Amino acid sequence: MASDKNASSSSASVDLKAIHPVYFVTNIKNKIRTLDGTTITYSAWVKLFTLHAKGYKVLWHIDDTPPPEVTDDSYESWAGVDAIVQPWIYGTISDKYLRRVLDTKATAQQVRNKLKHIFLSNKKSRAAALEKQFTNLTLSACSSLDDYCQKLQDLAEQLNDVD
């Protein structure tokens, strides 16, 4: 009888080990802040998202690794995980960006590439606009010295995003 208990408990642990770690994430918003392009910059969001993608073993869904062929035996499993990673992206970006990248036929990698394009495609014009904001920001336009410093830091991080 004791061996029956051990057998059933070991089979349950084997089943848990077989489940992909992505299925244990209940709310990605508790782990990754929302990309708004100002307070949370694109580069900060990418770093956070990449850390979590590595930890949950889904990095290959957002990096440049090609997905398996539809005829491959692993495709269904890959597609199931990708269908979870994609809403992670959608759930951690602001509505402004969500409307621009939402695509039910895209993979998580394609959605990530759309976001990358939004933030990195027009570097020169974005850099010029951000430099102007940075240069023209005055202490009188802010509620406090801390607010002024925070806005300068936010602009500096946004400038860093566009090299």
Bridge partners (DSSP) listed for residue 35: 93
Phi, psi of 74 (to 5 degrees): -85, -5
Domain positions in the chain are 2-121, 123-163
Which pLDDT value is given to residue 10? 45
Which of the residues in the chain have pLDDT under 70? Answer: 1-17, 163
CA–CA distances in Å: residue 56 to residues 45, 62, 88: 16, 12, 12
| Cα of 93 vs its chain's centroid, Å | 8
110, exposed or middle or buried, with CB in 10 Å at 0-12, 13-18, 19+? Answer: middle
Which pLDDT value is given to residue 59? 94
Tell me the helix, strand and coil percentages in the chain, rounded to 5: 70, 0, 30
Which pLDDT value is given to residue 16? 58
Give the predicted TM-score (pTM) of the model: 0.71
